[in-house]
Amino acid sequence: MREERQNRLIKKRNIVLIGSMGTGKSHVGRMLARELGWQFIDTDRFLERERGMSLAELGATLGADALRQAEAEVIERVRRYHHAIIAVGGNFVLEEGMFERLREYGVVVLLYAKTFRIIERVARKQGKRPTIDYDNLAGCVADLNRAWYGWHERADCSVNTTYRTPTRLAYAIRRYLHRAPFRFLTRRGEERHKTRRKGYSYGKKSSRFDQWRRRARHERRASSGRTGGDL
């Protein structure tokens, strides 16, 4: 019976956090990765390390179009990772094709916040966002927020980060995963082994998601298609 339920679950490899800059993707992503014993990838930081320049320097050197292409290449590489929390940079709104490729292997979670909160967060990092005109910060953020709005119904779930801490947000996402019909796969041929985080194994039988599912079995509902909603 348990094997039949497992076979009905949608197979995924990772969790992808999308949304505008300033919605807390990096903070929440690190929290989730730490709690799950997974790796954390911030595509902006990945690109900076690879190119040896800050995002602001890359923007000034490459220009907006080339920067978007460079970010897309990074996303294309990391989207296949197993047991990873992937925070996608929010400098540009996702294109349709990239969204579908992310969703092929990942559970896509949209983080969003009210405009005033994003302005507060982005203003703390003056000059570090290459696509923002800091002389018109409010207008830029409002435009970006409107552009991201259309993705609310496309993501597997949406999470409002305006008033909640990263700890509470990570908990809300985990609660969603308890109920959602997803199964996270390991790499083919990967041995079950203990990580440095005591008590956690990548093996299917002992994965934390399976433990949570057993504890919250009564909450899980069989469903198909988009299973999320606003958390």
Does the annotation place 24 within a ligand binding site?
Answer: yes
Does the annotation place 45 within a ligand binding site?
Answer: no
- Tokens standing for 227? 């299973």
The pLDDT tens digits of the residues spanning 142-159 come to 998 999 988 888 999 999
Report the pLDDT value the prediction gives residue 137, as an integer from 0 to 100. 87
The residue with greater pLDDT, 113 or 195, is 113
The reported pTM is: 0.80
Beta strands 14-18; 106-112: pairing state: parallel
Does the annotation place 164 within a ligand binding site?
Answer: yes
Nearest by Cα to 83 from 43, 42, 37:
37
Does the annotation place 44 within a ligand binding site?
Answer: yes
For residue 215, what pLDDT band results from cuts at 50, 70 and 90?
Answer: low
Domain 11-184 CATH assignment equals 3.40.50.300 = yes
Does the annotation place 89 within a ligand binding site?
Answer: no
Report the pLDDT value the prediction gives residue 212, as an integer from 0 to 100. 52
Angstrom distances, CA of residue 28 to CA of 71, 90, 178: 20, 14, 17
Does the annotation place 90 within a ligand binding site?
Answer: yes
Separation CA 15–CA 13 (nearest Å)? 7
Q: Is 57 helix (H, G, I), strand (E, B) or coil?
A: helix
For every residue of 160-186, DSSP letters joined together read E-SS--HHHHHHHHHHHHHHS-EEEPP
Residue ranges per structural domain of the chain: 11-184
Does the annotation place 54 within a ligand binding site?
Answer: no
The residue with greater pLDDT, 132 or 227, is 132
State mean pLDDT over 68-83.
94
Does the annotation place 25 within a ligand binding site?
Answer: yes
Counting Cβ atoms within 10 Å, is residue 216 exposed (0-12), middle (13-18) or buried (19+)?
middle
